Amino acid sequence: GDSVTQMEGPVTLSEEACLTINCTYTATGYPSLFWYVQYPGEGLQLLLKATKADDKGSNKGFEATYRKETTSFHLEKGSVQVSDSAVYFCALSQTYGGSQGNLIFGKGTKLSVKP
Amino acid sequence: DVKVTQSSRYLVKRTGEKVFLECVQDMDHENMFWYRQDPGLGLRLIYFSYDVKMKEKGDIPEGYSVSREKKERFSLILESASTNQTSMYLCASSLAGLVSTDTQYFGPGTRLTVL
């Protein structure tokens, strides 16, 4: 079945460091891909998404490119801030049958940014 | 802005109790979802509903049931709570139909402890 694999955390960075969180997927068809973020004590909120191959999603300085050839959707940011400390989830949206539109999540990567 | 609210942020129940978790969304969304979130496991889909009085099993429906009597409200029911149902429960909603590109909007979560 469909699945998402993202890098294990926790990840600890200093402020202004570069961030990459790896995400790869296995899917039937052509799923949409998402990054959700969960700040401490809150629910998940959409960070960015891409709905077809070679699309780049971007928001708040984060970006990710839908790479069909490597089945990847890595999250990147050039300079992280303390306020970026959160748990990041990669997800795909199924495209077939009765599960179309349902999200499959990775296990999450906790990011801590130190001043 | 879409708002998804959940009836309780924290809940403590005893083994064998019947537990109701309520979720309300205010944007006329057709689809609603219940997930549980556990450390190291990410989010797993329990049930979803794409219309009033309609429900579909997700990946882990055992021990749970749901009710959707009104479009804006989706309830998760633990008929007889057990300690292995101690978890964070997240409700989400999305626009309409089963569309793979749609964003899901999440509530803040209910942290349930079963003693």
Q: Which two tokens stand for residue B49?
A: 């509903």
Q: Three-class SS string for A44-60?
A: EEEEEEECCCCCEEEEC
Taking an 8 Å cut-off on Cβ atoms, the answer to whether A102 and B58 are in contact is yes
- Is residue B105 within 8 A of residue B28, CB to CB? The reply is no
The β-bridge partners of A77 are A19, A62
Which residues does B15 contact at the CB level (< 8 Å), separation at least 6?
Answer: B81, B82, B83, B114, B115
In the prediction, which pLDDT does B14 show? 97
- Residue A95, chain B, CB below 8 Å: the answer is yes
In the prediction, which pLDDT does B101 show? 72
Q: What angle (nearest 5°) sits at the alpha carbon of residue A4, between those of residues B77 and A74?
A: 130
Q: pLDDT tens, A57-96?
A: 999 999 999 999 999 999 999 999 999 999 999 999 877 6
pLDDT band at residue B96 using 50, 70 and 90 as cut-offs: confident
In the prediction, which pLDDT does B1 show? 67
Lowest pLDDT segment from A18-32, A44-58, B20-34, B87-101: B87-101
Lookup result for tokens 């978890």: B87
User: Which of 6-65 (B) contact A at CB < 8 A?
Assistant: 31, 33, 40-45, 48, 56, 58
